[in-house]
Amino acid sequence: QVQLVESGGGLVQAGGSLRLSCAASGRTFSSYAMGWFRQAPGKEREFVAAISWSGGKTYYADSVKGRFTISRDNAKNTVYVQMNSLKPEDTAVYYCAAGGSVSITPLTSTAYNYWGQGTQVTVSS
């Protein structure tokens, strides 16, 4: 079992930055790939970024590539996403998720087993 708690969301002006954190409990954190997803009102949950169990491989949605950076610290059981040059269209509830394995880093929400409660990010224009 892995429990995930996100933090770091808030209100920011367009062009600003935020760093989201996701703290995990459980001894098996380092054996999972980690992902960030987001869901805006009236829209489906969408993939944002993912990172392999070791942190050696990262993946991004085209909409955030070059602006967001995902990272993890297995010693601290924490995954981060640094969000720069934020746009109003980045407004959403952001969720972290754990899933996959040491050989698979999923890019779809259905492949993730554990989810956090979400943190709101609002970008004003």
**pLDDT at 39 (0 to 100):** 98
Name, in order, each residue with C-beta under 8 angstroms of 27's C-beta and a sequence gap of 6 or more: none
Which tokens is 80 given? 């981060």
**pLDDT at 38 (0 to 100):** 98
Answer yes or no: is pLDDT of 48 > 90: yes
Which tokens is 76 given? 């601290």
Answer yes or no: is pLDDT of 92 > 90: yes
Answer yes or no: is pLDDT of 116 > 90: yes
Answer yes or no: is pLDDT of 46 > 90: yes
Distance from C-alpha of 32 to C-alpha of 48, rounded to nearest angstrom: 17
**pLDDT at 80 (0 to 100):** 98
Average pLDDT over residues 51-71: 96
Answer yes or no: is pLDDT of 84 > 90: yes
Answer yes or no: is pLDDT of 27 > 80: no
Q: Are strands 3-7 and 10-13 parallel, antiparallel or unpaired?
A: unpaired
Average pLDDT over residues 108-125: 96
Cβ pair 55, 69 in contact under 8 A = no
**pLDDT at 36 (0 to 100):** 98
Distance from C-alpha of 2 to C-alpha of 8, rounded to nearest angstrom: 20
**pLDDT at 87 (0 to 100):** 98
Which tokens is 50 given? 């993912």
Average pLDDT over residues 40-61: 96
